[in-house]
Amino acid sequence: MTDNRKSDAALWNTVSSTMAMADVETDQRFVFIFLRGGMDGLSAVPAYGDPSFRAVRGVLADEAPGSGSPFDILKLNDTFGLHRDLKAMHGLYEQGELMVVHATCHDYRDRSHFDAQDAFDRGAVDKSIKSGWLNRTLQALPTRFRTGRSDVAMGLGPTLPLSLRGDESVGSWSPPAAPKADPDTLQRLGALYAADARLGPVLSKGLSAHQLGEGSNSMPMGMDGMSEGFGNAIAFQEYAKAAATFLSAPNGPRIVTMDFGNWDSHANQNQQNVRGPNNGNHGGQFAEMYLGLDRGIAALKANMPPEVWAKTAVLIVTEFGRTVRINGTAGTDHGTGGAAFVLGGAVKGGRVLADWPGLKDADLLDGRDLRPTTDLRAVAMGVLREHLRVPEEAFSTIFPSSEAVKPIEGIVRI
């Protein structure tokens, strides 16, 4: 879809690349959301205007916007739409606070979930790198970010994602489970942990995050053992509320990460997204995925004061897109190019960034995948540079082997 490309490219070029970087407000918020499992970009952001769309997507092709069926795609422009269950995100698009990126991927190409996730989390395919790209980003942040807070970045979830691991100290948080411990015992325990070089710093960090998070609601348990996808979707909304609380606190973190797993849709993908009388809470493990994402994003905005939302940019990625054609089981297999989102009050949205490669057989990567035409790292770099004021020379450390990748300009409102 060359139309899109031109209009968006024109927009990018109007943004001056010589902004004054030094004297701007640096109290911005950044949220990084990783949709793990490989979200199907052509399902989340259907290219309904592409002439090949219906043919390649078969039973997975939803109805074009305005056709009046319950399965109508939500219109973005004449080519792209959003999945019908992403209603709040569609609202953000219409308010100019959500930008869609399509046909995007980072530089990993081998279709393994785990390697692909690790590669993006590390910021490099190279496995000898042990730290995460966000952890290395912390080293490049302006000092004003760090002053007065124990942790400038925090991982929300029971375990710390690889993107945040590394030399820089970061926090983590999940909802409190047990009653508060006796202070005397904690103090004695502190002495024991102080003697342990590896576990000592870890525990003291856990304790300080715990104090900051007080007042956040405890989380309803997912439906364990039967539908963790549904549990994930509920948990994501609760984490999104907690993220809003943390980011709104005056001395709270300014960068938070959230994981939302279970997007791997190899079979009966349509059923996963359909809610009919018999597909409510037992229509497959993904029945609630889009709703969970959409409500989580709505909760993030709703639980922030407007002035904090205005300083917030959220980057939502997945490790890869899925095959363009459906497989033998009405699902899609591991692919390459897919969709990503940048949203928030600080984002200049209402646009689709896509150098659209097309869906005809000859257009596809290896005859099967959506060809990636926008490097996802360029999107991340663009957000880091304009929103978090990360100097460009830091990108060779944050994303090694990215010499050829240039930050995309004009993503945020300056």
Partner 1 sequence: MDQNAAIAVNRFGLGALPGEMEAAAVNPRRWVLEQLDGRYVQPEQFRGFASTAQHRENYSYRYTVLARDLNEAQRKAKDAGDQNEVDRLGHLIARMLGGYVTWVAENFMLEYGARTNVALTTDKPFHERLVRFWSNHLVVPAIKQQCGVVCGAYEREVIRPHVTGKFSDMLLASAQNPAMLVFLDNHLSIGPNSPYGREKKVGLNENLAREILELHTMGVEGGYTQTDVIQLAHAITGWSSYPAADHAAYQRNGRTGEPVGKFVFHADWHEPGEVTVVGKTYKAGGVEQGEAVLYDLARRPETARYLATKLARHFVADEPTPDLVDRLANVYLAHDTDLAEMTRALVESKEAWAHAQSKLKLPEDYAISCYRSLGLKLGDGSVPPQSMYNFESYIQKKHYWAWLANDPYSLLTSKDPAQFTEPDAKRGAAIATFYADVKSMGQNPWNAPGPQGWYDRWGDWSGADSMLKRVEWSLAVAAKHADRMSGPVQYLNQSLGDLASPELKTEVARAASAEQALALALASPDFQRR
Question: Residues 318 to 337: which contact partner 1 by CB under 8 A?
Answer: 327-329, 331, 333-334
Q: CB–CB of 53/46 below 8 Å?
A: yes
Based on CB atoms, which residue is closest to partner 1, 277 or 305?
277
Residue 215 touching partner 1 (CB under 8 A): no
Residue 181 touching partner 1 (CB under 8 A): yes
Give how far Cα 184 sits from Cα of 195, 201, 206, 208, 328, Å.
Answer: 18, 19, 17, 17, 61
Which residue's entry shows tokens 């395919």?
125
Least spacing, CB of residue 231 vs partner 1, in Å: 9
Least spacing, CB of residue 260 vs partner 1, in Å: 11
Based on CB atoms, which residue is closest to partner 1, 85 or 369?
369
Neighbours of 130 (CB within 10 A): 11
Least spacing, CB of residue 359 vs partner 1, in Å: 18
Based on CB atoms, which residue is closest to partner 1, 34 or 80?
34
* DSSP-derived secondary structure for 59-107: GGPPBPTTS-STTBPEESSSS-EE-TT-HHHHHHHHTT-EEEEEEEE-S
Q: CB–CB of 327/120 below 8 Å?
A: no
Residue 128 touching partner 1 (CB under 8 A): no
Q: Which residues, numbered 41-100, are part of the site for partner 1 (CB under 8 A)?
A: none
Q: Which residues, numbered 19-38, are part of the site for partner 1 (CB under 8 A)?
A: 36-37
Least spacing, CB of residue 112 vs partner 1, in Å: 5
Least spacing, CB of residue 224 vs partner 1, in Å: 7
Based on CB atoms, which residue is closest to partner 1, 323 or 374?
323
The residue within the footprint of partner 1, chosen from 10, 20, 22, 178 (CB under 8 A), is: 178
Q: Which of 351, 337, 356 is nearest to 412 (CA)?
A: 351
CA distance 4 to 50: 12
CA distance 321 to 323: 7
Residue 411 touching partner 1 (CB under 8 A): no
For residue 258, the 8-state DSSP code is: E
CA distance 215 to 245: 9
Residue 111 touching partner 1 (CB under 8 A): yes
H or E element at residue 313: strand 312-318
Q: Which of 244, 294, 236 is nearest to 82 (CA)?
A: 294
Based on CB atoms, which residue is closest to partner 1, 10 or 195?
195
Least spacing, CB of residue 318 vs partner 1, in Å: 13
The residue within the footprint of partner 1, chosen from 22, 221, 362, 404 (CB under 8 A), is: 221
* DSSP-derived secondary structure for 158-227: SS--GGG-SSS--EEE----SPPPPHHHHHHHHHHHHT-TTHHHHHHHHHHHHHHTTTSPPPPP--TTT-
The residue within the footprint of partner 1, chosen from 23, 184, 214, 403 (CB under 8 A), is: 184
The residue within the footprint of partner 1, chosen from 46, 81, 155, 372 (CB under 8 A), is: 155
Residues 6+ apart with CB under 8 A from 291: 85, 233
The residue within the footprint of partner 1, chosen from 229, 252, 253, 321 (CB under 8 A), is: 229
Sign of torsion, CA 279 281 287 293? positive
Tell me the window of 64-72, 78-86, 150-158, 382-390 that interacts with partner 1 (CB under 8 A): 150-158
Q: Which residues, numbered 257-316, are part of the site for partner 1 (CB under 8 A)?
A: 261-262, 264, 266-267, 277-278, 281-282, 284-285
Based on CB atoms, which residue is closest to partner 1, 130 or 144?
130
